[in-house]
Amino acid sequence: MNSKSLRVIIPNFAAPDSFVDNVATTLRQMGHDVLTLPAVPNRWLNSPLREIGRHVLAAVAPHHAVPEERWLLKAARRARPDLVLSLTQSVSDDTLVTLNHANLPDDERGRVHEPGWNYCFNQFGERFATRRPQ
């Protein structure tokens, strides 16, 4: 990894020749270190049983992270990315807050910076994020 390269996590499945795969490949060709969710068969992603499970989990435990977000949080702790690039706006607010504070030191120096990071994070959300209607 050269001095100008970034550690990038894309928390989306990278099926061969998909948009995610193409973005990841391009970033790698530019010299960046890119980590994506491993490719899985579409029939698994779109299975009715998985969809039912997702709805039940959302009803029973609304703040429970979905498997993709659990992978993202684990990968972020391990890889300490410079950038998390979500290509589908599918990352929950709780996960974004966790990622935002992941690299702050857990001491007085880190806590002093927390209000500033929260302010910046909220400004980005208000100015640049768009949400799909639920």
66-90: pLDDT as tens digits: 777 888 888 888 888 888 888 876 7
Residue type, 12: N
Q: What is the pLDDT of residues 16-67, one digit of tens each?
A: 888 888 999 999 999 999 999 877 766 666 678 877 887 787 788 766 677 7
**From CA 2, how far away is CA 46, in angstroms rounded?**
39
Nearest by Cα to 34 from 12, 56, 64, 66 = 12
Q: What is the pLDDT of residues 6-18, one digit of tens each?
A: 999 988 888 888 8
Whole-prediction pTM value? 0.59
**From CA 14, how far away is CA 10, in angstroms rounded?**
9
Task: Region of 104 please: left (phi>0), alpha (psi -120 to 50) or beta.
Answer: beta
